[in-house]
Structure 1
Amino acid sequence: MTCYYANLDHEALLHVQGPDALSFLQGQVTCDTRSLRADLALPGACCTVQGRVVFDFLLGQLEADHLVLRMRRDILASSAALLAKYIVFSKAQLSSGDNGWRVLAVWGPQAVTLLQGIFGAAPAGRFASCHGDGFLLVQTDAAGQQFECYLQDEVVGDMYRQLQSAAQSGSESDWQALQLAAGVARIETATSGEYVPQMLNYDLTGHISFRKGCYTGQEVVARLHYRGKPKRRLYLARIDADQLPDGRLPAPGSPLYKDGTSQAAGNVINSVATADGPVLLLVTATTDSLDGTLQLLSTQGPELHISAVPYAVPENK
Structure 2
Amino acid sequence: MQVCQLRQYEYVLVAGPDSIPFLQGQVTCDMTQLTDEQCLAGALCNLKGRIIGDFLCVRIAEGCLLQISEGNGQKIAVTLSKYAVFSKVKITIHEGPCDTYGIVSNESPALHELLPAPPSLSYQTATSDTATIIKLAGTPGRFQVWVWDAENASLVAESLRVLSDKQTLEDFGHFDYAETLAGQAHVNAQHSEAFTPQLLNYDLSGVVSFQKGCYTGQEVVARMHYRAKAKKRLFLLLAEGPTDATNNGAEIALVQQDQQIKAQVLHRSRGPGNSIAMLAILPIAWGNIEEPLLLVQDPTVELTVKALIYT
Give 1:217 deviation, angstroms. Answer: 0.6
| Cα pair distance change 1:36/1:291, threshold 3 Å | closer
Partner of 1:57: 55
Pick one of 99, 113, 119 that aligns with 1:117.
113
Please give the TM-score of this superposition, normalised by the length of structure 1.
0.85
Partner of 1:90: 87
CA distance in 1, matches of 2:160, 2:310: 33
| Cα pair distance change 1:273/1:24, threshold 3 Å | same
Gaps of 5+ in 1: 313-317
Per mean C-alpha deviation after superposition, the further-off stretch among 18-27 and 65-74 is 65-74
Partner of 1:35: 33
Give 1:194 deviation, angstroms. Answer: 0.9
CA distance in 2, matches of 1:156, 1:119: 14
- TM-superposition CA deviations, 1:80-135 (whole Å, max 9, x none): 2222222233211222242553321123356431x223233311211111223353
Give 1:291 deviation, angstroms. Answer: 5.2
Give 1:237 deviation, angstroms. Answer: 0.4
- TM-superposition CA deviations, 1:49-81 (whole Å, max 9, x none): 110111111111123x52111121121222222
What one-letter code is carried by the residue in structure 1 that aligns with 2:143? F
Counterparts of 1:130-279 in structure 2, within 5 Å, are: 130-141=126-137, 145-154=141-150, 156-168=152-164, 169-245=169-245, 250-251=247-248, 253-259=249-255, 265-279=262-276
| Cα pair distance change 1:100/1:108, threshold 3 Å | closer
Establish whether residue 281 from structure 1 lines up as the match of residue 288 from structure 2: no
CA distance in 1, matches of 2:263, 2:301: 15
What one-letter code is carried by the residue in structure 1 that aligns with 2:159? L
| Cα pair distance change 1:118/1:136, threshold 3 Å | closer
Q: Supply the RMSD in Å over aligned alpha carbons.
A: 2.8
Identity level (%): 27
CA distance in 2, matches of 1:224, 1:195: 13
Higher helix share: 1
CA contact under 8 A between 1:55 and 1:75: conserved in structure 2? Answer: yes
CA distance in 2, matches of 1:138, 1:202: 20
Partner of 2:19: 21
Give 1:297 deviation, angstroms. Answer: 8.0
CA contact under 8 A between 2:252 and 2:297: conserved in structure 1? Answer: yes
Aligned residues: 304
CA contact under 8 A between 1:18 and 1:66: conserved in structure 2? Answer: yes
Give 1:263 deviation, angstroms. Answer: 9.4
Give 1:244 deviation, angstroms. Answer: 3.1
Give 1:241 deviation, angstroms. Answer: 3.4
CA distance in 2, matches of 1:265, 1:146: 31
| Cα pair distance change 1:303/1:244, threshold 3 Å | farther
Give 1:4 deviation, angstroms. Answer: 2.8
Per mean C-alpha deviation after superposition, the further-off stretch among 144-153 and 255-264 is 255-264
CA distance in 1, matches of 2:265, 2:47: 24
What one-letter code is carried by the residue in structure 2 that aligns with 1:273? R
Please give the TM-score of this superposition, normalised by the length of structure 2.
0.87
CA distance in 2, matches of 1:242, 1:144: 23
What one-letter code is carried by the residue in structure 2 that aligns with 1:308? A
CA distance in 2, matches of 1:143, 1:286: 24
